[in-house]
Amino acid sequence: MKNLLFLFIAVTAMLAAVGAEAKKIPFTVDAAQFRYDDTHSLCEFYYSFPDTALRYIKNGNKYIGSLRINLQINSVSLGVVDKQQWISDNISDTLIRKHQRNLVGQKSFILSPGQYTVDVEIYDLNDSTTKAKTSLQLIVRAVPKNSIVLSDIELASQISSSNGNANSPFLKNGLIVVPNPKHEFIGNEPSLSIYSEIYNAKTFAHDSIRVEYKILDGAKREQFTVQLLRPALSDAIVESTSIPLDGLSSGLYYLQLMVQSLSNTSDNITAIKKFYVLNPEMPVELAPSLSEDELFHSSEFATLSAQRIDDEYSKAKLIATHNEVQLYESLNDVIAKQKFLYRFWKERDPKPETPQNERLDEFRKAIAHANTYFSNILIKEGWKTDQGRVLMKYGFPTQVDRHTNESGVRPYEVWYIDGKQGGMQFQFVDLKGFGNYIQINSTAIGESRNDRWFEQYVQLFNSASDSQLDPR
Q: How far apart are CA 250 and CA 229, in angstroms?
A: 30
Q: Tell me how far apart the alpha carbons of residues 212 and 206 are, in angstroms, rounded to a whole number.
A: 18
pLDDT score for 197:
95
List where CATH 2.60.40.3880 sits in the chain: 1-143
* Residue/partner pairs of 221-224 with CB below 8 Å, 24 or more apart: 223/248, 223/253, 224/248
Cβ distance 34 to 149 under 8 Å?
no
Q: 437 near 379, Cβ under 8 Å?
A: no
User: pLDDT band for position 24 (50/70/90)?
Assistant: confident
- What are the Cα distances from residue 293, in Å, to 275, 289, 290? 18, 12, 8
Residue-wise pLDDT tens digits, 175-198: 999 999 988 888 767 889 999 999
Instruction: Describe the crossing of helices 322-329 and 334-347 by its angle, rounded to 10 degrees.
Output: 160
With a CB cutoff of 8 Å and minimum separation 6, the contacts of 295 are 286
pLDDT at residue 7 in the model:
40
* CA terminus-to-terminus distance, the chain: 30
> HSE (CB half, 13 Å, CA atoms) of 113?
8
Residue 142: φ, ψ to 5°: -75, 155
**Phi (first) and psi of residue 66, to 5 degrees:** -130, 130
- Range 318-329 average pLDDT: 90
Which CATH fold would you assign to the domain 1-143? Immunoglobulin-like (2.60.40)
CA-based nearest residue to 395, from 384, 387, 405: 387
Kindly report, residue by residue over 203-227, the tens digit of the pLDDT: 887 788 899 999 988 777 888 899 9
Q: Please count the other Cβ atoms lying within 10 Å of the Cβ belonging to residue 172.
A: 20
Average pLDDT, the chain: 84
Given a contact cutoff of 8 angstroms between Cβ atoms, the answer to whether 210 and 259 are in contact is yes
Nearest one of 385, 391, 462, 390 to 430, comparing CA atoms: 385
CA 64 distance to own-chain centroid: 22
Q: CA-to-CA distance for 238 and 159, rounded, in angstroms?
A: 12
Question: How far is residue 239's CA from residue 74's CA, in Å, rounded to a whole number?
Answer: 31
Number of Cβ atoms within 10 Å of the Cβ of 178: 18
pLDDT at 241: 92
Q: For residue 380, name the pLDDT band (cuts at 50, 70, 90).
A: confident
Phi and psi (nearest 5°) for 109?
-140, 145
Report the relative pairing of strands 208-217 and 251-261 from DSSP bridges: antiparallel
pLDDT band of residue 47 (cuts 50, 70, 90) is very high
Judge whether 108 and 44 are in contact, CB under 8 Å. Answer: yes
Q: Within a 10 A sphere around the Cβ of 154, how many other Cβ atoms?
A: 27
Single pTM value for the model:
0.60
pLDDT of residue 152: 94
Residue 256: predicted pLDDT? 93
- Residue 193 CA from chain centroid, whole number: 19
Q: In what order do the strands lie in the sheet with 102-111?
A: 28-35, 41-50, 102-111
Tell me which residue of 352, 356, 353 sits closest to 300, measured CA to CA: 356
Are the CB atoms for 155 and 179 separated by under 8 Å? yes
Cross-strand bridge partners of residue 278: 186
Indicate where the chain has its CATH 2.60.40.2550 domain(s). 156-285
Q: How would residue 23 be classed by pLDDT, with cut points 50, 70 and 90?
A: low
In angstroms, the CA 211 to CA 234 distance is 15
Range with the largest mean pLDDT of 141-145, 158-162, 258-262, 440-444: 440-444
Helix/strand/coil for 385: coil
Class of domain 156-285: mainly beta
pLDDT band at 282 (very low <50, low <70, confident <90, very high): low
**Mean pLDDT (whole number) for 313-340:** 90
pLDDT of 260 > 60? The answer is yes
Q: Which of 279, 53, 40, 29 is nearest to 143 (CA)?
A: 40
Would you call 291 helix, strand, or coil by DSSP?
Answer: coil
Q: What is the pLDDT of residue 137?
A: 85
Which residues 6+ apart lie within 8 Å of 426 measured at CB? 390, 397, 414, 415, 417, 439, 441, 442, 444, 447
Q: What percent of the chain has pLDDT over 90?
A: 36
338 vs 51: which has the higher pLDDT: 338
pLDDT of residue 3: 45
Give the Cα separation of 129 and 19 in Å (integer): 6
CATH of 370-468, one of 3.40.1000, 3.30.1450, 1.20.120, 2.60.120: 3.30.1450
What does the pLDDT read at residue 129? 82
